Structure formats: structure tokens, C-alpha cells
Structure 1
Amino acid sequence: MKKTIATLAAAALALCAAGAGAQQPARFGNTQLTAGMHLIQAEVAQTDAQRQQGLMFREKMQNNHGMVFVFDQPTSQCMWMKNTLLPLSVAFIDLEGKIVNIEDMKPQTLDSHCSTKPVKYALEMNLGWFKQKNIKPGSAIGGLPGLPK
């Protein structure tokens, strides 16, 4: 009987581990972006699953690192911070790579932070990064996926 219980327990653990593997966060590619003289190491979220996952559950992010969200076509976009532990700033970026507007976002909130015009990209960085680097609406972001280098 003990052997059967141990076998059942091992099988249950294996099923749980397999189920946990299915819940792994989306994997992201990386790219290097530029904002004036500043280099940004950005993870790229370009599928629905990647955009939904975003930076959820991250506890820290290195300086000059971020995540660029690539949308299928330019439209009005909104971001929120559900399950996101880091305070972030998001720059909404148009089809030409120009920042339309920048919004600061508090962690773990459902507040919507939206672009003021149709955008193709959103770039999330640590809170205050754009302000510290004097990057404002109208500034260009280089190296965005799909734009000429």
C-alpha cells in the first residue's frame, strides 16, 4: 500500500510539474534601441501572448533595459499594470519612431494609460527613465523592429 501511495504521489507531482511548465511566461527576443545618445536593451513583445505577459511578475529591471511592444498596425493603445510589480514609464511611439506621449504607471493597478494618437509601439522603462534622460514627446527612438536602421 505504501508503494502505491508513493507511486501516486510521484505521478501527481509529475503532473503538477508538467502543468507548471505550461504556465511558463512567454519568451522574448531582444533588440538594441537608441534614444538620442542612450542605448536601450529591450525585450521585444510582438505576439498577443507576449504583449499580454509583458513585464508581469518581474521584481527588478536593470537600468537602460526595457520592453518594446510591437503592435500589428498603428491604433490607439492602452497599457495597464495588472500583476506588474515594478513602477514603469511607458512611451507610446508612432509608425515613424517618434514618441507621441509618455505616461507614468503605478505597480499592480488596473488604471489605463493610453496613447493620445495611433501608435505602432510602446516602450516600457523603469519609472522616470525618460525624464532622467530628457527624452520627451517628439523624440525619436531608433532601432525599432520593422523600421529602417
Structure 2
Amino acid sequence: MATRTVPAAAFHPRPPATTPDTWHPGSLWWDSKSVLVTRPIAPGSVATTPHLVLPADHGRLAFLLSSHGAEAEQLAYDGRVVIQAGDWRGRPALGSRQHYGTARIIGDHYLAERIHEGMRIKYGARTALARMVHRLANGSVPYGDLVALVELHPPRPLMIGS
């Protein structure tokens, strides 16, 4: 009987060294009550929507979208976003700053279930409230069947005169 070993690269007990150390309780994204996602909707105009957020692996953020919503279609077309930590009312948190990122829409049912479970752990009853509000506003439209993964870009230094 032959034995096989899994390559050491398959195990990731800690995030890679390039990932910021912000994915644990007490960090900006774990402690934020919501995030404000600003996205382009037409040339020269933007829309801002509050979302419940979950830190994902490799320095990314995850939030849920409905496949029947305009936001999912807009982010699939143009993934540029500005993310800012928010308070429980969906307003910018005191002292927070904006972060640039790129959103990617993923329609994987298993990933959506994992994100739902993480949201339930992080937010508790707020997830049930969010589902109920979505049901009242949209009827039988699915809630959270798509996942938006946002890869945050490192801040760039200000270039004077350019």
C-alpha cells in the first residue's frame, strides 16, 4: 500500500506574510458594524450602499448580494469600489477612512453558505433582521445567493503635482 503526503504548501495555518494583520477580533474590519460600498453606476455618478461584511482570506472582504439586484449587475460590469468602515446605522464610522478595492462577484452556493454562517457568528440577530427586511422589500427574490469578494489595494503615497 503506497502512502501519499500532501505538499506542505497546501497547509496555511497562518495568513501569508503579505496579508495585513487585520483579520482577527479587535481589527478594523472585524469590529466594523457595517461597511459602505461606493461603486460607479454611470459615468460621473456613484452609489453608496451599506453591507454587513466579513473578513475573508488573503486580505479580502466578503459580503452578500442578491442575484436579482442592480448592485450585483453593476459590480459584475465594473468592479471598482471604495470601502469604508461604518456604524450600525450604515453611516461612516468615526475616524474611518476610505480604502480602494476591486470586487469580484462569485455565484458559488457553498461559499455563500460559509459567508452566511460567518455573518451569523459575527452579527447574530442582525442577519435575521437583514433577511426579513430584504424579504419585505423584494418579496421572493433570493437573499444573499451571490458573494462579493473585495480585494483591497494598498494605500498609495500622495504624489504632489501629478
TM-score under structure 2 normalisation? Answer: 0.27
TM-score under structure 1 normalisation? Answer: 0.29
If each structure's strand is expressed as a fraction of its own residues, which one has the higher value? Answer: 1
If each structure's helix is expressed as a fraction of its own residues, which one has the higher value? Answer: 2
* Bigger Rg, structure 1 or 2: 1
